[in-house]
Amino acid sequence: MAKPVVIKKADEMQARARELSCAGKSLGLVPTMGALHAGHESLIVRARRENDVVVVSIYVNPTQFGPGEDFERYPRTFEADRKMCAEAGVDIIFAPDSLYHRAARTWVEVGGLEEPLCGMSRPGHFRGVATVVTKLLSIVRPDRAYFGRKDAQQLLIIQTMTRDLHLGCEIVPCETVREPDGMAMSSRNRYLSASERKQALAISHALEYCRAEVEKGERDAMTLLGEMANLLGGQPDLEIDYVAAVDARTLDDLTTLKGDVLVAIAAKVGNTRLIDNTHFEGLK
């Protein structure tokens, strides 16, 4: 098992990536904030299959955290991450100390898609995400970059921005990896106490309920969302941020589920904010 090379400087990463591209190698990038789990691993495995060279970036991006959020306490587990990357055959770990010049003043905003859903309670979050992903794509210039559907709004914003700015990279969506009981894997799950972990399961249960009802023919958003909110409301330490059914391309609220639909939940369990979703294509 070859050890991945660790690169900490953006200039060095950019030069190395350019060399590899010039030598005719295809590059796959998996952007992460570290604390890697099987969800990240599935992105890495796919990137390994589809590219000559795999770069995993590990960077806890300060600009996507709001005041009072968990930037300081976000899990940083570099040695374990490095081990997982080695086992998965990653070639390069890009782990910069900072990606922001002290006088940085350039930001990437994707109008209309940043404000709804998570944007409501995390103003500025997606501007931070769009900006850091633009930086990573500019530094590595990958042929393909891999993102999880668990962060569906983030994925849509990145797809839109890549198209609008001609970034010339294929954005590859990857399915959500779940624990055996259905809970979506997340670096933040490790914050949960045993009781919170049990209560958090209501999130994936509510989404499973929604899938089952839609399969039976239910299309009324109020009926579905109301029942999902009831399922979540049974948990004493769970506070709903939103339960929404939106058009998967515009994120506009739907009254009837039709076409490509995203049903998404965000909730705080204790102090931990969790998100999950399910998506439907071509609903009639």
Catalytic position from the list 37, 40, 205, 279:
40
Considering beta carbons, is residue 127 or 150 the nearer one to ligand AMP? 150
Q: Which of 228, 231, 232 is nearest to 245 (CA)?
A: 228
Of 96 and 254, the one with the shorter C-beta distance to ligand AMP is 96
Residue 212: CB minimum distance to ligand AMP, A = 21
Q: How many separate helices (H) and strands (E) can be counted in the chain? A: 8, 9
Tell me the C-alpha to C-alpha distance, in Å, between residue 216 and each of 18, 153, 177, 208, 278.
52, 27, 25, 12, 16
Least separation in angstroms between CB 187 and ligand AMP: 5
Task: Work out how close the CB of 280 gets to ligand AMP at its nearest, in angstroms, rounded to a whole number.
Answer: 18
Quote the CA–CA distance of 136 and 122 in Å, as a whole number: 22
How far is Cα 67 from Cα 75, in angstroms, rounded to an integer? Answer: 17
166 catalytic? Reply is no
Task: Using CB under 6 A, list all residues that contact ligand AMP.
Answer: 32-33, 39-40, 42-43, 147-148, 150-151, 174, 176-177, 184-187
Nearer Cβ to ligand AMP, position 56 or 254?
56
DSSP strand E in 122-192: where? 144-148, 170-174
Least spacing, CB of residue 83 vs ligand AMP, in Å: 16
Minimum CB distance to ligand AMP smaller for 43 or for 254? 43
Instruction: Check the CA dihedral 278-29-109-107 and report its sign.
Output: positive
The residues annotated with a catalytic role in the active site are: 40
